[in-house]
Amino acid sequence: MKRANTFVVRPQSEQDRELLYELLDASASLWNELTYERRQHYFEGQNVWDTADYRKRYVGVLGSATAQQIIQKNKSAWRSFFALMEKDENCSPPGYWGNEDDGRTLRTYIRNDQYTLENSDRSRLEIPVGKQLKEKYELGYTERLRLEVAGVPKWNGKQGRLELYYDEFSDQFRAFQPVTVDDSRLDSPLADETAALDIGANNLVACTTTTSEQYLYEGRDLFEQFCETTREIARLQSKLRDGRYSSTRIRQLYRRRTRRRNHAQDSLARDLIERLYAEGVSIVYVGDLTDVLETHWSVRTNQKTHNFWAFRQFVGRLVDTAEEYGITVKVRSEAWTSQECLNCGSTTETTRHQDTLTCPCGFEGHADLVASEAFLRRHETNFPWPMARPVRFEWDDHRWSGISHPHESPKEVRTNRSIHG
């Protein structure tokens, strides 16, 4: 059984912090250089696998094994891209981990046999570094970088490749460690429950579970912030001199816009998966927006779904987070679920106005929650009726919290609107 540990790691000194930061930055440079060469080859119709030997270029900083892990990760990304192309899916070649001006994604990958994680009252992680960094920071020839681990990782077993990254919002270094665990050692076996998600932009996620729970994560305020920043970027671009396309301030705004979205996205995935795990959910169905966008495409829909919410990126983060809890995410078509009446099954007579879906048969409900329930009923038929009143959440720039109403708990607020009329 696959599980994953996530934990914070802390350098023991300012020198160690600088060393770790430089290690992650060099990893981003390797990824970007290799990606650039492969993209150039791809657009010029050349063989993307015919590249320079980047392992030799970065072995002095990263060490041979770590450099090779990043190269292998890059190769996997390109293989996935070509596999999607064969399915005629609309996708783009692998991208960069940012740049020096706009800020890089600081991340690296350590092979499973190249790091040591010791669990005790003072847990610690040791990782290898290249010879050049050892000399620069005065580490011994066989010495490795030692980092403190905050807390005790939950799962013990056969360790997989370690992902180590810098979270700029919290100013912390974090680690993600896949682990293979014997089934007999699982302390919280998952129940056989299922959930389905409707992903949008006005409401980022509407979720229905076979335990009759419903969750609604609202996104209008986040989208307005995104649009406000976008308008300011456009205003500043209009004032640039001829021949210029950007400035320090514009790059800062792009960077802030992306980080704000990613922070909300990561927090939503974490908050939702933790709730589903507590409900005993083992499978989560996520709607594939490809067919939906082909039928209901508009400029604003495209801006919300792809530019603002970055649908594929969110699904990727959801999959990563679910993996930590042993939950499987399945992407399936959700065509017509947003127009389906839960009472009579009609998809042609219903009318949607903002967040409300109505049907001539007398049905009325929250459109996104109705869509998530209709989506779930396509895959699961045996669960209670009616649904509990949904829990609604808003983003406060730090976490997802319940929307406060008089006489209701601010953390677990349920709407008063009837879902089933």
pLDDT at 244 over 70: yes
Residue 246, domain member (yes or no):
no
Confidence class for position 409, pLDDT limits 50, 70, 90: very low
- 139 and 211 in a single domain? The answer is no
The pair of three-digit structure tokens given for residue 284, joined into one six-digit string: 């989560």
pLDDT at 298 over 70: no
Residue 248, domain member (yes or no):
no
Q: Which of 185, 203, 219 is the last residue of a domain?
A: 185
| Rounded Cα gap, residues 48 and 71, in angstroms | 13
Q: Give the highest mean pLDDT range of 12-16, 120-124, 381-385.
A: 12-16
In order of 54, 88, 374, the CA distances from 45 in angstroms are 21, 18, 44
> Mean pLDDT for the chain?
81
The pair of three-digit structure tokens given for residue 419, joined into one six-digit string: 């879902």
Residue 407, domain member (yes or no):
no
Three-class SS state of 168: coil
- 107 and 169 in a single domain? The answer is yes
Residue 222, domain member (yes or no):
yes
**Is 285 within 8 Å of 194 (Cβ atoms)?**
yes
What is the pTM for the complete model shown?
A: 0.61
- 130 and 148 in a single domain? The answer is yes
pLDDT at 291 over 80: no
Query: Rounded to a whole number, what is the largest CA-CA distance in the chain?
Result: 77
State the average pLDDT over residues 281-307.
59
- 108 and 201 in a single domain? The answer is no
Residue 222: domain span: 193-231+257-402
| Rounded Cα gap, residues 37 and 287, in angstroms | 34
- 155 and 205 in a single domain? The answer is no
Residue 62, domain member (yes or no):
yes
pLDDT at 199 over 50: yes
pLDDT at 386 over 50: yes
Task: Output the DSSP codes for 73-91.
Answer: HHHHHHHHHHHHHHTT---
- 130 and 23 in a single domain? The answer is yes
- 261 and 181 in a single domain? The answer is no
- 46 and 108 in a single domain? The answer is yes
Chain centroid to Cα 68, Å, comes to: 25
Task: Output the DSSP codes for 26-67.
Answer: HHHHHHHHHHHHHHHHHHTT--TT----HHHHHHHHH-HHHH
What is the per-residue pLDDT for 295?
40
What is the per-residue pLDDT for 90?
65
What is the per-residue pLDDT for 421?
38
- 276 and 331 in a single domain? The answer is yes
- 224 and 147 in a single domain? The answer is no
Chain centroid to Cα 219, Å, comes to: 16
pLDDT at 184 over 60: no
Residue 418, domain member (yes or no):
no
228 class by beta-carbon count within 10 Å (0-12 exposed, 13-18 middle, 19+ buried): exposed
- pLDDT (tens digit, 9 = 90+) per residue, 76-133? 989 988 887 887 666 788 888 876 555 678 899 999 999 999 877 678 999 999 999 9
Percent of the chain with pLDDT over 90: 31
Segment (H or E) for 329: strand 328-333
Amino acid at 412: E
- 87 and 127 in a single domain? The answer is yes
> What residues are paired with 126 via a beta bridge?
116, 146
In 3D space, the residue among 165, 42, 47, 51 whose CA is nearest the CA of residue 97 turns out to be 165
pLDDT at 415 over 50: no
In order of 179, 201, 300, the CA distances from 257 in angstroms are 34, 15, 17
State the average pLDDT over residues 212-216.
91
Three-class SS state of 219: coil
Distance in angstroms between the alpha carbons of the first and the last residue of the chain = 43
Residue 245, domain member (yes or no):
no
- 167 and 148 in a single domain? The answer is yes
Instruction: Give the count of domains, the chain.
Output: 2
| Rounded Cα gap, residues 338 and 68, in angstroms | 46
State the average pLDDT over residues 267-290.
85
The pair of three-digit structure tokens given for residue 61, joined into one six-digit string: 């900083």
Within 122-183, strands assigned E span 124-127, 145-150, 158-159, 162-167, 172-180
DSSP 387: P
